């Protein structure tokens, strides 16, 4: 069964819009795990517009499944993750003002930079993943960088899925097969939801984990968090 990691950034956005501590991220972290999620994902950004550095430190104490921290590997980010030592760090190429992650790494151009970062994280016992698109050359270079995993950027799949599911998923099938051949494990995320997740999970070979935030939290407003997590987990049964 593919694992589900729930990104709680949107809960932090809601809390920050009013101040105070509603919703309570620590309670949400505990509840999400109790409701069956396999992990918690956070993506702290420099402006702290959702998850704050203090949140990351606090949440780490409530993790009993798996903790995944996403982010651009700035000196501040690296200091944070080396202090917290999550199970996994997912590197994304976001500029500081990015609204959301909207592209994978060019692992050719940034090869030396990423290789050094990956080596540093591994010295601290942290599993690594690099956010990439389906380009074969970028996946091949990711393997040379010595990352443990890649996370496939699935927005192009989600955009095309309503019109042509088979065409939408085809490049991701090829990318996952190549990654597996190169010794990489495969994660995926971005715009996966209750409509497109089951098809993606069934078609993608060797898929280990998906990270889902925006759609899942939005669904929870209508369905409740416990029911929503159960529904997403159901879609991940092979």
**What is the distance between the alpha carbons of residues 145 and 53, in angstroms, rounded to a whole number?**
28
* 234 catalytic residue (yes or no): no
β-pairing, 3-7 vs 39-42, is: parallel
**What is the distance between the alpha carbons of residues 205 and 143, in angstroms, rounded to a whole number?**
18
CA–CA–CA angle 224, 219, 236 (5° rounding): 95
Q: Which of 43, 50, 66, 209 is catalytic?
A: 43
* 180 catalytic residue (yes or no): no
Tally of CB atoms within 10 A around 22: 8
**What is the distance between the alpha carbons of residues 203 and 72, in angstroms, rounded to a whole number?**
30
Q: Which of 66, 70, 151, 209 is catalytic?
A: 70
* 190 catalytic residue (yes or no): yes
Q: Which of 50, 66, 151, 190 is catalytic?
A: 190
Residue numbers annotated as active site: 43, 70, 190
């Amino acid at each position: 069964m593919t694992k589900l990691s729930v990104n709680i950034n949107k809960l932090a956005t809601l809390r920050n819009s009013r101040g105070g501590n509603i919703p309570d991220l620590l309670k949400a972290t505990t509840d999400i795990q109790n409701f069956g999620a396999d992990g918690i994902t956070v993506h702290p950004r420099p402006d702290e517009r959702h998850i704050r550095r203090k949140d990351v430190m606090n949440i780490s104490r409530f993790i009993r499944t798996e903790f995944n921290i996403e982010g651009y590997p700035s000196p501040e980010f690296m200091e944070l993750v080396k202090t917290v030592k999550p199970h996994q760090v997912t590197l994304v190429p976001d500029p500081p003002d990015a609204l959301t992650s909207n592209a994978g790494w060019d692992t050719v151009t940034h090869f030396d930079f990423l290789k050094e970062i990956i080596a540093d994280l591994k010295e601290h016992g942290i599993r690594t993943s690099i956010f990439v698109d389906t380009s074969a050359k970028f996946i091949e270079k990711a393997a040379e960088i010595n990352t443990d995993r890649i996370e496939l950027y699935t927005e192009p799949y989600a955009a095309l899925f309503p019109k042509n599911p088979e065409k939408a998923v085809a490049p991701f099938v090829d990318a996952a097969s190549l990654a597996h051949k190169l010794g990489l494990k495969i994660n995926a995320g971005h715009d996966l939801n209750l409509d497109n997740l089951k098809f993606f999970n069934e078609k993608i070979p060797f898929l280990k984990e998906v990270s889902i935030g925006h759609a899942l939290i939005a669904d929870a407003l209508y369905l409740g968090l416990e029911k929503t997590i159960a529904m997403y987990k159901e879609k991940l049964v092979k």
